[in-house]
Amino acid sequence: MLSHPRALVVCAFLAVTVAGCAGGPAPVASGVTLGTMPSQPSPSSSVVPPVDEVTAPHVLGDVEVRSASPAELDVAPVDQPVRLEVAGLDIDMPVVRVGVDETGGMVIPEGALTAGWYEFGPAPGDDAGNAVVAAHVDNAQGLGPFARLLDVEVGERVDVTTESGATIAYEVTDVEQTNKDEVDLTAVFEPDGPPSLVMVTCGGDWQANIGHYADNVIVTAIPVDDVP
């Protein structure tokens, strides 16, 4: 991320003013053990007596210092996915990066033979979060490969190949079909949490009047290395 990060080790400093109304001990940095923190007065009394300033050792750890020059602002290039294979379902599709349309919906590649990876979320291979790949369930000729996602079983192997040629192997852990009015897309597109691959298509009743299916079919897979 940084060209020339300079880390400065900072000594502990005494800081925290513990207000009498807080009830519990003052928050401290994770990993810091307070050896001499005095117990706090009970907050049950409605009249909180004034509490003298209490100081506790507060370790800041390393303070990273870097140049704030725009030239130093390196945005790490993404190793984007280019191919998705589910050998057991005879799925082998190119993957392109996609964003959002003018109404805020995820863009899905034309036809049903190409899958789209949501470029504003995690990528396959990232340390955390859901990499979301979606494809149309059908095209003008009939069903597309992602229609077979409904056949997928837990434990099925999924391979994603990235632009650099790396392959990330996943194993299906969850298959869900949920009405689009009920689906929690915030969870589908979760940017934090354990790394997962989430494949999304459509299913359920075809609603000819609006040109959409009623449900989303959502298949979750986790890196095989993470399978318990």
Site for other proteins in 138-167 (CB under 8 A): 138-140, 142-143, 146-148, 150-154
For position 104 contacting other proteins by CB under 8 A, the verdict is yes
Query: Nearest 10 degrees: CA dihedral of 226, 195, 83, 182?
Result: 120
For position 26 contacting other proteins by CB under 8 A, the verdict is yes
CB of 11 or CB of 47, closer to other proteins: 11
Min. distance of Cβ 222 from other proteins in angstroms? 12
Across the strands, what pairs with 218? 176, 200
From 42-50, 69-77, 79-87, 157-165, span contacting other proteins (CB under 8 A): 69-77
Nearest to 214 by CA among 198, 201, 228: 201
Min. distance of Cβ 36 from other proteins in angstroms? 16
For position 70 contacting other proteins by CB under 8 A, the verdict is yes
Strand (E) or helix (H) holding 187: helix 185-188
- In three-state secondary structure terms, 146 is helix
Residue 3 identity (one-letter amino acid): S
CA–CA distance, 120 with 9 (Å, rounded to integer): 35
- With CB under 8 A as the rule, give the number of residues binding other proteins: 86
Q: Please identify which residue in 34, 63, 128, 166 interacts with other proteins, judged by CB under 8 A.
A: 63
Nearest to 195 by CA among 215, 159, 221: 221
For position 41 contacting other proteins by CB under 8 A, the verdict is no
Q: Which of residues 188-227 bind other proteins (CB under 8 A)?
A: 188-189, 191-192, 200-206, 208, 211-216, 218, 220
CB of 92 or CB of 205, closer to other proteins: 205
Q: Are 220 and 155 in contact (CB under 8 A)?
A: no
CB of 67 or CB of 167, closer to other proteins: 67
CB of 145 or CB of 167, closer to other proteins: 145
For position 45 contacting other proteins by CB under 8 A, the verdict is no
CB of 167 or CB of 227, closer to other proteins: 227
CB of 137 or CB of 168, closer to other proteins: 137
Query: Nearest 10 degrees: CA dihedral of 119, 124, 126, 128?
Result: 90
Instruction: Determine the straight-line distance between the first and last CA of the chain, rounded to whole angstroms.
Output: 32
- In three-state secondary structure terms, 13 is strand
